[in-house]
Structure 1
Amino acid sequence: MTTPEPGSEPTPDRPTAEQPFADRVFRSPLGIASGVFLVLLAAGFAGDAMIRGKDNAPWVALAGFVLAVPLIVAFTIRPAVYVNNQRLRIRNPFRSITLPWGTVADVRAGYSSEVFTQDGAKYQLWAIPVSLRQRKKAARKAARASQDDPHGRTSTTADVRDTGSRTAPADQTIADLRELAERHGRDPEAQGEPQVRWAYEILAPAAAGLLLLVILIAIG
């Protein structure tokens, strides 16, 4: 499940005079929790090996730790989606992508959440994971509701355009992002070119850890 961070108010639909373009942030609480757990677990194993290990085992453990931590952070804690009236900013494991709403063609949720640009590029939204279990649960709610409302929708595909409790949380988030893209896509201040930046703060320490690990293994 993906939720906005507590400090993300005001939303882009209700800006204030003091902060007219405040970002609304979406992240995965489960991903963050699992990332913190894995980092602590890796620290425990590495610490034990560095204290009790013999020969070059402590150095191998240190190199493995330096390699593992950036990768864990990249795939669990780092992913986030920032939105406001002007643009969508995606922070994925190894890249940050900034898309003015004018460049966004569509936002979809199939087996993963994706955004498509006007020039045909596709970017995955790692911070908004799709849960098929939650989608099926939402579909069952919609099916039960349709029995009380003969004019209601009976599709079990849980279309992301549905709203309320009958829609999976990730699908509802995608629907909100699509609505923002449609609403602000023609705004003059929401125009520009997509910008992609590599996350060197993740890649550099991971590469250093990998290089050190290879050297230590090579020299035995």
Structure 2
Amino acid sequence: MTKDLASGGATVLRAVSSIIAFWAFVAIAVVFVGDAALRGRLDVALRAGAVFAFIGWCAWVFLIRMSVRLDAQALTARNLLRWVRVPWGRVVDVERRAQLRIVLDDDSTVECWGSPFAPRAGGRTRDHGASVPAVTATNSPWGQPVGGTAGMRRGPSADGALVAVRSVWQASRGGSGPVTRGWDLPAIAVGAVLAVAVIVAVLPW
């Protein structure tokens, strides 16, 4: 993965369950709208299509758009209609709560709402009893784990998202820069258009 990032690629992390849930909703929406169209109820199909499209946009924002993007220079957390880009050199710690939390060199934190969920306690893996990183990362990208083996614990299952973020962080060159934030304008624009379409579709004319 780090080789791909070094060549200009990127890795996007999101929960597999979110992807499954989104496409399940899309399939249900297609069935309902398609059924109305096949029955010749084009007016119903158009209205239902507009409503399902807006609900689908909401599902896309929560389940797909919200994610964590890793590249060689920075981590980008896409949260609810907002994004935060953090250069790797500003990262001093990676913590695991319900989602990933990035601790910066100024003691502020960035919550990654769209990161994959933490593994279930008691989950089974092939490497039974293997040592996995602690919930709070202590690995510095420029040296050995802080405190020797104190930052490691025995765990039932590996946290793939946490391991992926650590791997890219440790492989980075530590370039610093400002943390940038902004609104997710493309997603907001699409949502506004679909909201207008729903209003037009459901209002009696």
Matches of 2:42 and 2:9 in 1, distance apart? Answer: 53
Q: Which residue of 1 aligns with 2:116?
A: 128
How much does 1:75 deviate?
2.4
- Is the deviation greater in 47-56 or in 205-214? 47-56
Residues 193 and 23 from structure 1, CA distance in 2 versus in 1: closer, same or farther, beyond 3 angstroms? same
Matches of 2:90 and 2:113 in 1, distance apart? Answer: 16
Higher helix share: 1
Please tell me the residue identity of whatever aligns with 2:177: G
- Which blocks of at least 5 consecutive residues in structure 2 are unaligned? 136-150
Question: Map of 1:152-191 to 2, 5 A cutoff?
Answer: 159-160=134-135, 161-162=151-152, 166-170=155-159, 172-178=160-166, 180-181=168-169, 184=172, 187=174, 190-191=175-176
- Which blocks of at least 5 consecutive residues in structure 1 are unaligned? 1-7, 147-151
Q: Which residue of 2 aligns with 1:5?
A: none
Q: Which residue of 2 aligns with 1:74?
A: 61
Check conservation: 2:36, 2:42, Cα contact below 8 A.
no
Secondary structure of the structure 1 residue equivalent to 2:122 = helix
Residues 197 and 35 from structure 1, CA distance in 2 versus in 1: closer, same or farther, beyond 3 angstroms? same
Secondary structure of the structure 1 residue equivalent to 2:3 = coil
- 7, 15, 18: which one aligns with 1:31: 18
Question: Map of 1:19-58 to 2, 5 A cutoff?
Answer: 19=7, 21-52=8-39, 57-58=44-45
Q: Which residue of 1 aligns with 2:146?
A: none
Q: CA RMSD in A?
A: 3.7
Q: Which residue of 2 aligns with 1:137?
A: 123
Secondary structure of the structure 2 residue equivalent to 1:89 = strand
- Residues 1:200 and 2:185 are matched in the alignment: yes
